[in-house]
């Protein structure tokens, strides 16, 4: 279910018109036809993103795409500023002589990190912060406007909810996972057309518009300082 399919979803660009490649890699797409931009590029970007490669080159019939990693560094290279809390199940047997590698990353700020980093790299995808069951916020639909830091749903990890956070302001243009679906870490859950529209969102399409607005400052506070902006 979530497993092989997750990778396939990366390859299908869905409603998104054109994936924004990292700034450094923007030379070649100018010559690339629409299908390439819609289908191949997002997949390649995801590939590059998940690998330790610095550069990725793919050749096809009469075309060639080369992607180079930006200077944002890798997630693994970042100092782990994530909040670590022990889950209730682990309080029982803390062994003194061994490290407890099972220290859990259930903290909200930990959950927000990968998404924020994706935002830094110019991604327009909202991805899963963990492996678990996806629970989108009620009323979420294409056209819903979100602001950076908005919680658009949760991923249930052993009964603990991890926030799915919009990395930047924009309008949801595609929902890639359904309520209750098993999702893996990094799986694309929704796509975002960046930019803030000046017209206020129709409360009808938001469903819980007022509540979401009220929740926004809180959600922002949870994100690591500076990362979401």
Partner 1 sequence: MFSKILIANRGEIAVRIVRACRRLGVGAVVAYSEADRDSRAVQLADEAICVGPAESRRSYLSAPAILSAAIVSGCEAIHPGYGFLSEDDTFAEMTRAHGLTFIGPPAEVLERFASKAGTRTLLGRHGLPTIPGSSMLRDDGHALAEAERIGYPVLIKPSAGGGGKGMRMVRSPRELQQAMTICRSEALAAFGDDSLYLEKWLDENRHVEVQVIVDRYGNGVHVGERDCSVQRRHQKILEEAPSPALDDGRRQALAEDAINAVVAAGYENVGTLEFLLDRDGNYYFIEINCRIQVEHPLTEMLSGIDIVGEQIRIAAGEPLGYSQADVVLRGHAIEFRINAEDPLHEFAPQAGLIENFIAPGGPGVRLDSHLYTGYEVPPYYDSLLAKLIVWGPDRTAAIARGRVALDELVVDGVVTNIALHRALLSHQVFLDGEFTTNLLDRVGSAAFLAAVTAA
Q: State the binding string over 72-111 for partner 1 (x if CB under 8 A, else -).
A: --xxx---x-x----x-xx-xxxxxxx-xxxxxxx---x-
Question: Per the structure block, which two tokens stand in for 110?
Answer: 């930990």
Question: 6, 45, 152, 164: which one contacts partner 1 (CB under 8 A)?
Answer: 6
Helix 108-120 × helix 209-222 angle, to 10°: 90
Q: State the binding string over 34-63 for partner 1 (x if CB under 8 A, else -).
A: -------------x-xxxxx----------
Q: In terms of CB distance, is 86 or 220 closer to partner 1?
A: 86
Query: What SS3 state is found at 50?
Result: helix
Question: Judged by CB under 8 A, which stretch of 167-175, 182-190, 198-206, 214-222 contacts partner 1?
Answer: 182-190
Q: Evaluate whether 126 touches 119 at the Cβ level (below 8 Å).
A: no
- The C-alpha atoms of residue 220 and residue 75 are separated, in whole angstroms, by 20
Q: How far apart are the first and last CA of the chain?
A: 34
**Dihedral angle sign, alpha carbons of residues 194, 196, 199, 203:** positive
Q: Which residues in 193-222 contact partner 1 (CB under 8 A)?
A: none
Q: Evaluate whether 166 touches 216 at the Cβ level (below 8 Å).
A: no
Q: Name the phi and psi angles at 82, rounded to 5.
A: -65, 145
Q: In terms of CB distance, is 53 or 138 closer to partner 1?
A: 53
> For 161, which DSSP code?
E
164 makes contact with partner 1 (CB under 8 A): no
Report in angstroms how near the CB of residue 41 gets to partner 1 at its nearest. Answer: 17
Report in angstroms how near the CB of residue 161 gets to partner 1 at its nearest. Answer: 12
Helix 2-11 × helix 41-50 angle, to 10°: 120
Question: 28, 72, 120, 133: which one contacts partner 1 (CB under 8 A)?
Answer: 133
Report in angstroms how near the CB of residue 77 gets to partner 1 at its nearest. Answer: 9
Q: In terms of CB distance, is 32 or 44 closer to partner 1?
A: 44
158 makes contact with partner 1 (CB under 8 A): yes
């Amino acid at each position: 279910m979530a497993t092989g399919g997750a990778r396939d979803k990366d390859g299908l660009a869905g409603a998104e018109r054109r994936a924004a490649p990292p700034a450094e890699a923007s030379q070649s797409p100018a010559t690339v036809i629409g299908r390439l931009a819609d289908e191949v590029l997002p997949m390649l970007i995801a590939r590059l993103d998940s690998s330790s490669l610095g550069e990725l080159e793919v050749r096809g019939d009469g075309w060639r795409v080369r992607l180079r990693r930006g200077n944002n560094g890798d997630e693994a290279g970042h100092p782990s500023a994530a909040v670590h809390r022990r889950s209730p199940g682990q309080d029982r047997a803390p062994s003194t002589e061994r490290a407890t590698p099972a220290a859990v990353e259930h903290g909200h700020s930990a959950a927000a990190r990968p998404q924020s980093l994706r935002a830094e790299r110019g991604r327009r995808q909202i991805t899963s912060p963990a492996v678990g069951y996806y629970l989108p916020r009620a009323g979420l639909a294409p056209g819903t406007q979100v602001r950076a830091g908005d919680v658009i749903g949760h991923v249930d990890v052993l009964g603990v909810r991890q926030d799915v956070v919009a990395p930047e302001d924009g309008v949801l243009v595609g929902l890639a996972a359904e309520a209750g679906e098993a999702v893996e870490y990094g799986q694309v859950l929704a796509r975002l057309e960046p930019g803030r529209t000046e017209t206020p969102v129709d409360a009808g399409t938001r469903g819980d518009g007022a509540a979401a607005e009220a929740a926004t400052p809180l959600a922002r506070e949870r994100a690591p300082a500076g990362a979401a902006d």
